[in-house]
Amino acid sequence: MDKIRFSNSFEDFISQTKDDSKVSKYLHHYINDNQVVARHIVADKMNYLTFRKNGTISYLPIGRELKLNDDGTWSRDGRQEGKPAKTITQIMRGAMLRAVTNRDLEIFSNLYKGQASDLYTFKVASGEDLARVYALDVPFSSCMNGKGHADKLALYVENPDVVSVVYIQTGNTCQARALVWTDYKGNKIVDRVYGSEEFRTMFRDYAKEIGAYKKVYDGAGQSDFFNPEGETTNENFVINVKGDFDYYPYVDTMCYLDDNVSPKTLSNSDVDATKKLNSTDGQYEDLEGNTCYGRSGTYHDDDTRWSFYHDAHIHEDDAICVGNDYYYESDGGSEDAIRIDGRRGSWVLVDSLEEVEVFDAGDCDGLTEVDSVCTFTAYKLSDGEYLSTDDATIVSVFVIDGEIMGEIN
């Protein structure tokens, strides 16, 4: 026998009401694979239960094929609706059905209707109230969730006329949310939807109701939009904003900021943009900066160094200064070398030299006793000369692929 499937929001409702409703408690045990309860809940009449705006339970009768929408949500084709108490008893059997009283069913039904009403009630918040919404508990992941990110939301909070959040809340939980932008022409744009798949169709319908554009792809990055008539279009929007901020949010779509104009603008197009707001740490990508060897993105001029060797900028954290130039430090390494004849610019790597024992007979002519010969350790140079190890000037040099770039400053 197939297992009963509930929508994500229905499972959330069961979890939230299990302490207030005996019916929800039984269903909660069933969802969590309690084998005793499972014997008394069956899918012989219906399956795939979910909420409806009118407070009924929508289900697919057994024998009908489950169809999916393009976004993966359950299609309404072939589905039926029933009152909460009557529908839920259709999946119960035996001792469980006898243990549930009319009062238990009434409590479940009232809780369900209240939750269904909340799940289909869109609320809009802006300004400081927007920050409150972002601090609510959520069943989805987002890098801007929680009170700890409040300082990054100032861009939104201080521009209530052009950005707000539309959301669905049950209890202290934000079940789904999306930013709503207003561009300088007065167009409204419903951005990426955060929440389970079943809410995405609801937000698309909401966008139609308010005459707004709706982002097609519910994720970060660029996307086409549904226009208010429901047609797919490729649009660039420009939103006027004000304020100077130390930290910025991670902006999914309108992430390109131009702060060289007045008023400043946000857009989903990078034309004339100075910053890209796609950082999770409250920072931004400086589009007016320099591209750096060994890194992606761009960086402020103060944070980069020009390398004649690499013919490119290097980020200061990656650069090593050698002589009068900068090098990408990870491309090479530090090694010991001998500075020859005391001149800068001429070195021999110590590891490439052979150490030998040599002697100096001094001014002796003819035969001399061995005890009179002075011996010492020396490096044998490539030209056949010897350099005493005591006289050698050892320095640290930077080497790339065997080539000495110079002494490390």
Tell the burial category of 158 from Cβ atoms under 10 Å away from its Cβ (0-12, 13-18, 19+): middle
| Residue among 281, 239, 235 at smallest CA distance from 256 | 239
Q: Please, what is the Cα angle at 363 between 359 and 366, to 5 degrees? A: 90
pTM: 0.64
Model pLDDT, residue 362: 59
Model pLDDT, residue 364: 57
Model pLDDT, residue 304: 93
Please report the DSSP string for 362-379 in residue order: TT--S---GGG-EEEEEE
DSSP 3-state of 257: strand
> Would you give the DSSP letter of residue 192?
P
Model pLDDT, residue 372: 60
Model pLDDT, residue 54: 87
Is 301 within 8 Å of 315 (Cβ atoms)? no
> Would you give the DSSP letter of residue 147?
G
Model pLDDT, residue 363: 61
Residues written for the chain: 409
* Distance set, CA 403 to CA 333, 347, 388, 398 (Å): 11, 10, 24, 8
- For residue 355, the cross-strand partners are 379
Sorted by sequence, the CB contacts under 8 Å of residue 66 that are 6+ apart come out as 47, 48, 60, 74, 75
Kindly list the averaged pLDDT for each block of 10 residues, start to end, along the chain of length 409. 88 92 96 93 94 92 90 87 95 93 95 90 96 95 90 97 96 94 98 89 92 94 93 96 96 96 96 93 87 86 91 95 93 89 70 76 60 72 76 87 88
Model pLDDT, residue 366: 62
Structure tokens of 256? 């390109």
Q: Please, what is the Cα angle at 344 between 339 and 350, to 5 degrees? A: 20
Please report the DSSP string for 299-361 in residue order: E-GGGEEEETTTTEEEETTTEEEETTEEEEGGG-EEEEEEEGGG-TT-EEEGGGSEEEEEEE-
Q: Label residues 335-351 b or e (16+ Cβ within 10 Å = b).
A: bebbbbeeeeeebbebe
Beta strands in 191-287 (DSSP E): 213-215, 225-226, 232-233, 238-241, 256-258, 264-267, 275-276, 285-286
The strand pair at 188-190 and 213-215 is best described as: parallel
Structure tokens of 230? 């429901």
Model pLDDT, residue 223: 94
Question: Distance from first CA to last CA of the chain, Å, rounded?
Answer: 76
Model pLDDT, residue 360: 67
* Distance set, CA 162 to CA 157, 159, 210, 241 (Å): 10, 6, 15, 8
